[in-house]
């Protein structure tokens, strides 16, 4: 699953900090810096991966979620 937007985005050097618990990159609005950390925990629980990047097409943030495939029991 890939989600991209054309917003202000995030500076490339801040991308590794996006899912760290308690880290806030946007201080203009209230929050505790827990949202993406919780999303990361949920994705990890399902053996998935969460990647943050810059959208080449739109210029904003690009978020990619990767989950392992499920084997189809009817397919041999």
Whole-angstrom distance, CA of residue 24 vs CA of residue 30: 9
Q: With contact defined as beta carbons under 8 Å apart, do 58 and 6 qualify?
A: yes
**Binning pLDDT at 50, 70 and 90, where does residue 73 land?**
low
Q: With contact defined as beta carbons under 8 Å apart, do 2 and 48 qualify?
A: no
Q: What is the pLDDT of residue 74?
A: 54
Domain at 2-66, CATH class: alpha beta
Tens of pLDDT along 20-68? 998 888 878 888 889 999 999 999 999 999 999 999 999 999 999 999 9
Q: What is the pLDDT of residue 6?
A: 96
Per-domain boundaries in the chain: 2-66
């Amino acid at each position: 699953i890939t989600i991209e937007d054309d917003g202000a985005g995030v500076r490339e050097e801040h991308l590794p900090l996006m899912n760290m618990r308690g880290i806030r990159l946007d201080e203009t609005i209230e929050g505790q810096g827990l949202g993406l950390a919780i999303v990361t925990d949920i994705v990890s629980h399902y053996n998935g991966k969460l990647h943050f990047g810059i959208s080449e097409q739109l210029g904003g943030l690009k978020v990619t979620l990767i989950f392992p495939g499920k084997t189809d029991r009817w397919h041999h």
